[in-house]
Amino acid sequence: MSKNTEIKLVGQPILSQLLQLVDKWTFKKLVAEKKSDHYYKAFKSWPHFVTMMFGIFSRCDSMAETCEGLMAMSGKLNHLDLEKSPAKSSAGDGLRNRNNEFFEALYYQLTKRYSSFLSDSRTHGLTVKELFIVDSTTIRLFSDILKGVGRNPKNDGKKKGGLKVYMLIDAVQSVEKFMKITAAKMHDKNFLSEIQVPQYSMLVFDRAYNYYKQFNEWTEKKIYFVTRQKSNAVYTVLKTVSEILLPKKQPGVLKEEHIEVTYKVKKEVKTLVLRRICYQDEKGRQYVFICNNFIITAEEIALIYKKRWGIELLFKKMKQNFQLHYFYGENENAIRTQVWCTLIAQLLLTVLQKKSAVKKAFSTVATLVRIHLVSMLDVYDLLKNTSRSWVKAKANNSAQPSLFPK
């Protein structure tokens, strides 16, 4: 019997199938814990969540577009556990006033639920068991809600508002373990003090996070890190472990040193001993890394830093596939809620992509879901169908008699 490659019709729209990845019992428990339904008679937490998911997956530019879109699919709202589409005023009030901490807690519940499922072999070739990546991305706002970053514009211009999304992600599972949303003016190094990871973990981040005081605290707790050294860093070489010359495009370690750096704590000068690794990649570019682990090899330190690119891909997926150019509300709580819901949407699509076991790019999965969001199709069959399947289905359809013969 030949394999059936046709997309199956089901009794629920694709949006409903995506929302089934959210455990309703856990959702109700969070509602009770966070008291997110207090003072809301009509627009409860679940309709609020569904409204946000519809707007984010369909890439609506405003809450008005989102509510109008839900109104147009009134015959399918029962599949989403909605009695009716929300009024724009009710949805706007909920977005402004319902505490964004509820959606933050929901996001972390989902990451906890799917953490083992999303594990892969991203740390293949490394001896460290727990590798965490730290970075941030800036989202610019057109109104001065949160303080922007950078210098003030010339000619008495006004600096736009902005926010920073700081993330600590697990390199194995590629999901966020800890996240913080702040005004864009916050310095990157301040985020490091809030990170809590187990002993013998390895953190990797870029040189914007150079903070010797925090590095010393991690060293005392046996928490390791890898980062790039700033070009203007002041240090003293204690020992040169190795130094070789390599052809320009041959990757390898050029130099390894043990160095001493100084920093001040309440006017008291303290010192910290680190490893300094000068590495050349296959394109002839040279990088200088510092690390507080003296056991792993210098080559592994360079490989660990290369894994940092995983968080850049995560930010790229978030900004390219979801609507973060326009916000549905103008107060800080509304903006934070939309960012948390966007991260939930990205997580659900990542789970969907892995459960469907397809090689399609994340952007392709996001586009297919957006186009067929309210279609009564099996989402897994939709993703598994390839171009060959569509060609075969088209050939079968062309064999049917036409209503309008030539």
Q: pLDDT by residue (tens digit) across 290-319?
A: 999 999 999 999 999 988 887 787 788 888
Over residues 192-207, the mean pLDDT reads 89
pLDDT of residue 123: 54
Question: How many angstroms separate the CA atoms of 84 and 71, rounded?
Answer: 8
CA quadruple 247, 248, 251, 256: dihedral sign: positive
Most confident of 152-166, 278-292, 389-403: 278-292
SS3 268: strand
Please spell the DSSP secondary structure of 10-78, one letter per residue: -SS-HHHHHHTTS-HHHHHHHHHHHTTTTT-SSS-HHHHHHHHHHHHHTT-SSHHHHHHHHHHTGGGGG
Question: How many angstroms separate the CA atoms of 234 and 251, rounded?
Answer: 27
Phi-psi region of 166 (alpha: psi -120 to 50; beta: other; left: phi over 0): beta
Output DSSP code: residue 310: H
pLDDT of residue 14: 92
pLDDT for residue 394 is more than 60: no
The CA distances from residue 82 to 163, 252, 288, 378, in Å, are 33, 59, 56, 21
State what percent of residues in the chain have pLDDT above 70. 84
pLDDT of residue 256: 95
Question: How many angstroms separate the CA atoms of 302 and 305, rounded?
Answer: 5
| pLDDT tens-digit series, residues 218-227 | 999 999 999 9
- pLDDT grade, residue 102 (50/70/90)? very high
Tally of CB atoms within 10 A around 403: 5
pLDDT for residue 398 is more than 90: no
pLDDT for residue 153 is more than 60: no
Please spell the DSSP secondary structure of 182-249, one letter per residue: EETTS-GGGGGGG----TT-EEE--GGG--HHHHHHHHHTT-EEEEEPPTT---EEEEEEEE----TT
* 367 compared with 10, residue with greater pLDDT: 367
Over residues 16-34, the mean pLDDT reads 94
The residue type at 244: I
Q: What is this structure's pTM?
A: 0.78
* 152 compared with 188, residue with greater pLDDT: 188
Question: How many angstroms separate the CA atoms of 347 and 357, rounded?
Answer: 16
The CA distances from residue 336 to 112, 244, 260, in Å, are 21, 50, 41
* 75 compared with 52, residue with greater pLDDT: 52
Mean pLDDT for the chain overall: 83
Lowest mean pLDDT among 31-35, 314-318, 368-372: 314-318
- pLDDT grade, residue 1 (50/70/90)? very low
- Take residue 189 and report the two structure tokens written for it: 């190094």
The CA distances from residue 249 to 7, 136, 279, in Å, are 50, 31, 12
Over residues 278-283, the mean pLDDT reads 92
What backbone phi and psi angles, to 5 degrees, belong to 61?
Answer: -90, -15
pLDDT of residue 156: 47
| pLDDT tens-digit series, residues 332-363 | 898 889 989 998 999 999 999 989 988 888 89
Segment (H or E) for 164: strand 162-170
